[in-house]
Amino acid sequence: MALSLSLHEFQPRSQLVLPQTTVTQPSFAVIDAHNHLGAPFGGGWDKQPLSPLLELLDEARVEVYVDLDGGWGEDILQQHLDHFKQGAPERFVLFGGVDWSAWPDHGNRFGEWAADRLRAQVNRGAQGLKIWKPFGLSVRDQHGKLVAIDDQRLDALWATAGELTVPVLAHVADPVAFFLPLDATNERWEELHAHPDWHFPSPPFPAFADIMSQFENLVTRHRATTFIGAHVGCYAENLAWVARLLDKCSNFYVDISARIGELGRQPYTARRFFLNYADRILFGIDAGPSLPSYRTYYRFLETDDEYFNYGPGSIPDQGRWQIYGLFLPDEVLQKVYRLNARRVLNLD
């Protein structure tokens, strides 16, 4: 008998005898409100024929797919609009973005410049604004100073999104463990060793608590603007915190993309969260147009299956645990799958 074993060699097989439900299609058609179609996150579908993608979405019963890869470059946005929106206008929604690298060129007027660019993107067909995680982690102003998420120089940008009635989908922080020391207590040890560029210890990066406090300030200050907190408000480990912000700000919504690993290991708390905030939660997977991923999400939301793998590999890549289904009622599923997104994305 070996006295030691490398972690990567440890791949236990559960001996539990449990129901295993296969959900090939959801109970209701879905709107995938957080996903990608370009490279590297979406599989490069912007360079491929449209018909196979539509067939896959039909099989998964995805009626509308939100592509967050429009970015800020007009060429990329137009390419995605031409390829997806013109090819199947009712099936795709595209979000634009912010070119943070232009801040030194515009100084303290950057917010107004970004607001003008957002207007131009919406005029061309963008239906939302995606904020990526460099904002708050590495975006710097003309003086080389880190820009806080609640920096008032950006007020014009957020106000313009509200004026145009386009939602702002904000990914401002990764899992809490990504900000902690990479030692034996870090539950994402394997994942961070596989992706060391995802580790944001403080210092030199801002503390997770500071980022979330700034995000709360931003959402609170701009109540006329709809904010979608990506990945369960960027704090799926603390649903009480997310619930408090939802209670405080009626302009705040969350999506569940890439976080069923967190939600599914706290099934009682997560189910209560879904029941209490059924009108404020959007479906999304953030895994590209992946049929296996869609079906795992459907299983998680619709069944009471216990202790199952939430990832594609034998060992889940986000952490060494299994998840439990939430067995949500139809009235909640319909809202989460499509009705909330139709309202937030102005599709009605």
For 10-59, the DSSP string reads --------------SS-SS-EEEEEE--STTTS-SGGGS-HHHHHHHHHH
Compute the distance between CA of residue 256 and CA of residue 238 in angstroms, rounded to an integer. Answer: 13
Mean pLDDT of the chain: 96
pLDDT of residue 212: 98
CATH topology for 19-344 is: TIM Barrel (3.20.20)
pLDDT of residue 40: 85
pLDDT of residue 256: 98
Compute the distance between CA of residue 48 and CA of residue 54 in angstroms, rounded to an integer. Answer: 12
For 187-228, the DSSP string reads TTHHHHHH-GGG---TTTSPPHHHHHHHHHHHHHH-TTS-EE
Averaged pLDDT for residues 298-311 = 97
Query: Does the pLDDT at position 52 exceed 90?
Result: yes
Compute the distance between CA of residue 25 and CA of residue 291 in angstroms, rounded to an integer. Answer: 10
Residues making up the chain, counted from first to last: 348
Compute the distance between CA of residue 66 and CA of residue 31 in angstroms, rounded to an integer. Answer: 8
Contact between 345 and 284 (Cβ < 8 Å): no
Query: Does the pLDDT at position 1 exceed 70?
Result: no
pLDDT of residue 4: 87
Question: What percent of the chain lies above the pLDDT cut of 90?
Answer: 91
pLDDT of residue 70: 86
pLDDT of residue 8: 85
Would you say the pTM of this structure is higher than 0.85? yes
pLDDT of residue 223: 98
Instruction: Look at residues 143, 114, 145 and name the one whose alpha carbon lies nearest to residue 131.
Output: 114
Amino acid at residue number 97? G
* Residue 14 banded pLDDT, cuts 50, 70, 90: very high
**How remote is the C-alpha of 143 from its chain's centroid?**
31
Compute the distance between CA of residue 256 and CA of residue 285 in angstroms, rounded to an integer. Answer: 7
pLDDT of residue 9: 86
In this structure, which long-range contacts are made by residues 233-237, counting pairs with CB atoms below 8 Å and at least 24 apart in sequence?
234/170, 234/171, 234/172, 234/173, 234/174, 235/173, 235/176, 236/175, 236/262, 236/263, 237/175, 237/176, 237/262
**Structural domain boundaries in the chain:** 19-344
Query: Does the pLDDT at position 59 exceed 80?
Result: yes
Angle, CA 179 vertex, CA 176 and CA 136 arms, to 5°: 95
**pLDDT single digits (tens) 163-200:** 999 999 999 999 999 999 999 999 999 999 999 999 99
Instruction: Look at residues 289, 294, 257 and name the one whose alpha carbon lies nearest to residue 43.
Output: 289
pLDDT of residue 260: 98
Contact between 96 and 69 (Cβ < 8 Å): no
**pLDDT single digits (tens) 71-113:** 776 688 999 999 999 999 999 999 999 999 999 999 999 999 9
pLDDT of residue 2: 63
Compute the distance between CA of residue 227 and CA of residue 242 in angstroms, rounded to an integer. Answer: 13
**pLDDT single digits (tens) 215-263:** 999 999 999 999 999 999 999 999 999 999 999 999 999 999 999 999 9
